[in-house]
Structure 1
Amino acid sequence: MKTLFIFILLSLTTVAINAQEVTILDETKLFYAPLNISVTQEGDSYIYNIKESHSRQFSRDPIGFLRSNFDIQSFIAHTADSKYHAYLVTFKSTNGSLEADFDSNGRLLETRQQFKNVLLPPDVRNNIFNDYKGYTVTKAKYSARTKGEILTKAIYKIKLENGKNKQTLKIDALSSGIGVAVN
């Protein structure tokens, strides 16, 4: 009986080992798409709506985000049948937007940035804390303009409250040497 059991076990093992075949699969291509964004067209302009998961990265460095996540040359190739002389591309998130103007060759001409609910740079926060004791920052907006990638205008608009007292500050970030909204 013991011999029969071992013989059956060996037979089943041999059948199982011989029954396996190697299956060769077709090649599969994987693509990495870091952004899952929706694109809408309004006339000659295109709007890229940035998902909430990338909103913070976008508002930290809008032009860097544009450079790393948008290929103007493939955009031009995609819209080649329209024969545009210039391109207006807008990136929008829940906290703000970046409008970028490109020429027909794909060179960045200028940008306009508008962001709300920004986290102020440490120097600005410390100055406000020291100069406006008891006040709370209720709103902070950042707007900027560039020529190419060079910052030409950058302004923080900050609303402060202390009970019924309200203050509005306008800080020229360019002359202060701050220049980039950090959220």
Structure 2
Amino acid sequence: MKTFVISILLSLTAAILSAQEVTVLDEARLFYAPLNVAVTQEGDSYVYNIKESQARQFARDPIGFMKANFDIQSFIAHTAKKKYHAYLVTFKSTNGALEADFDSEGNLLETRQQFKNVILPAQLRNEVYNSFQGYTLTKAKYTARTKGEILANATYKIRLENGKDKQNLKIDARSSGVGLAVN
């Protein structure tokens, strides 16, 4: 009796499994956009306004942020009917902006970066502190240019104050070994 029940269960299982029909589904296209931004068009250029909650992350590594949150190939496909020969895409936050130039195939040609109120890298911050004892850093600006992804120039402009004494410093970030655009 036990063998009979087991053989019936196995037969039913085999019948159910063989009755399954394979359904082939059409291709599904998914678009992942982790960067929820407001996009505006200014002539032939597009501006992505970065949310305030992501502004510091953007300022820390703008090119890395762009790579992680922007797909140029999807952008080209989206604007294909306009047939641009190049693309100028600007990412703006409250602290600054990154302008990226792409060719018609999506290759990064160059970038321009400008940021204010940046936090200096620890190495540079320590050098300034040790060299200018008693001074307070009141302004810090960062500008950089890249050719492709290679850092062409990067500069920190900082303002130090000690009472009525003021010092303006211009530091080449490439020669000091620090820079925001380095990936």
What is residue 152 of structure 1 aligned with on the other side?
Answer: 152
TM-aligned CA deviation for residue 128 of structure 1? 1.1
122-131 vs 140-149, which moves further = 122-131
* Pairwise CA distance, 1:32: 5.6
Residues 119, 181 of structure 1: 8 Å contact kept: no
1:143 equivalent in structure 2: 143
Quick check: 1:115–1:142 contact (8 Å CA) kept in 2?
Answer: yes
Q: Which residue number corresponds to residue 178 of structure 1?
A: 178
Equivalent residues, number: 153
TM-score by length of 1: 0.80
1:123 Cα deviation (Å)?
A: 1.4
1:98 aligns with 98
Letter in 2 for 1:45: S
Determine the C-alpha separation between the residues in 2 that align with 1:153 and 1:43. 28
- Give the aligned partner of residue 126 of structure 1: 126
Q: Distance in 1 between matches of 2:60 and 2:138?
A: 20
Amino acid in the other structure paired with 1:93? S
Whether the aligned pair in 2 keeps the contact of 1:52 and 1:94 (CA below 8 Å) is: yes
CA RMSD of aligned residues (A): 1.6
- Is the aligned partner of 1:81 residue 2:81? yes
Residue by residue, what CA displacement relative to the aligned partner does 1:145-165 show, whole Å, maximum 9, x if unpaired? 000011010000000000011
List aligned pairs for 1:1-183, cutoff 5 A: 33-180=33-180
Q: Percent identity?
A: 77
Q: What TM-score does the superposition give when structure 2 sets the normalisation length?
A: 0.80
Contiguous gaps of at least 5 residues in structure 1: 1-29
CA contact (8 A) 2:136 2:160 kept: yes
Stretches of 4+ aligned residues off by more than 6 angstroms: none
Whole-Å Cα distance in 2 between the matches of residues 117 and 176 of structure 1? 19
Alpha-carbon distance between aligned partners in 1 of 2:167 and 2:127, rounded to the nearest angstrom: 14
